[in-house]
Every structure is written in structure tokens, then in C-alpha cells.
Structure 1
């Protein structure tokens, strides 16, 4: 098999693993569904409102970033629980830090919305 075919096979395998990860988070994490709903509201608003292309892209990218953070948070939770289900300070700290990553990314998107809406109101 040539290098190109090997590269294609690696990309294909990575896509399969990524899809399996997404499906797992989809099936097991209620919070992912909440962020999907937030995106289902945010993205159409970003498209409908008179935003610049950059502002629209920022809102869409931010929403996708929050979904990615939720996947990472789930990965942290799974690894911590796989090591041990006993309550341990560092395990709790790792889970809390993963949760904080989701929250911080969501606050960032909220702040972007505020800045953009402020511009619309003040220049509109």
C-alpha cells in the first residue's frame, strides 16, 4: 500500500474514532444537548441579524468550541472514573477543571454576543 493510501486510511480511522466519541458524548451527556440547543438558537440569530462576516463566524466558532469543550470534559470524566470510582481530591479537581473549561468557553461566547449586540445597538 502506498503512502497516499496509508494516509487516507489513517484519516478514515481518525474520522471513525471521532464519530464514536461524538456518539458516546451524545448518548451519555445531557449537557451536550443543552449546548446544542444553545447553538440552535445562537447560530440562526447570528445569521439573521445584521452582523459582519467576522462576527457571525466568531459566534458560530464559539458555539462549536463549547461543544468541543464538552467532549473534552466528558473524556476527563471517563478517564478519572476508569482509574477509580473512589472519591479522591485530585479526581474531583480534574473533573471540576473540565467543567470549568466548558463554563469559561461558554462565558467567552456570551461576552462575544454582548460586545456584538452593543455594537448593533450603538451604531444601528
Structure 2
């Protein structure tokens, strides 16, 4: 039992260390956090259903997770070699695209929800 509690605690610490690393090294994460804070306030101010609010907040948090994964991809690629290689560029670009596509998806969600309020 205590072993499992210790393992859960260790995983939480490791995850926090990873998040702090991304926060300290990737300005884009800070931008997404600020955007999430602004939109979280909006999500709680607007007359949204719990499902709408949850979907929008979850989408924003998902973008943060993808930004962490993108950083992980970049670190592994750079650790293997700093030489310019087509495959390395593609891997980094694909990670970046995942963040961008998620951002668009959350934007679409916001447009749909706000559109529903207006119409």
C-alpha cells in the first residue's frame, strides 16, 4: 500500500518537474496558460452549461498537454543530433502542428458555444 502511494507521489513530482521545465524553456506554454486563464474566466462568466464549460476548459488543458509533448519531441530530436536532418525537422513540425490543430479545435468549440448563445 505505502509503495503504491509513494509511486503515485513520485509520478506527480516527475510530472511537475516536466511541466516546470517546459514553463521555463518554452514561451509558448506561458502564452497558452495566459490564454487559458482568460478563457477560463470567460467560461465562468458566460451563461454556459456545465458540459459546455467543461468541454472548453478541457480543450484548453489539452493544448497544454500537447505543448508538453511537443517539447518532449523537440528534446529527444535535439538529443539524438543537432545536425539538420529532414526527419528531425518533420518530427518537430508535426509536434508543432498537433498543438496548432488542437488550438484550432478549441477555437471552433468556442465559436460554436458563443454562436449558440447569440442565436
TM-score, scaled relative to structure 2: 0.98
Give the CA deviation at 1:37.
1.1
Query: 2:86 corresponds to which residue?
Result: 89
In structure 2, stretches of 5+ residues that fail to align are none
Do structure 1's residue 55 and structure 2's residue 52 form an aligned pair?
yes
Give the CA deviation at 1:16.
1.0
- Residue 83 of structure 2 aligns to a residue whose secondary structure is coil
TM-score, scaled relative to structure 1: 0.94
Do structure 1's residue 38 and structure 2's residue 35 form an aligned pair?
yes
Give the CA deviation at 1:5.
1.1
Aligned pair partner of 1:7 in 4, 9, 32: 4
Q: Which runs of 4+ in 1 moved over 6 A?
A: none
Query: 2:105 corresponds to which residue?
Result: 108
Query: 1:76 corresponds to which residue?
Result: 73
Q: Distance in 2 between matches of 1:23 and 1:96?
A: 23
Q: Which has the larger radius of gyration?
A: 1
Q: CA RMSD in A?
A: 0.5
In structure 1, stretches of 5+ residues that fail to align are none
Q: Distance in 2 between matches of 1:96 and 1:7?
A: 38
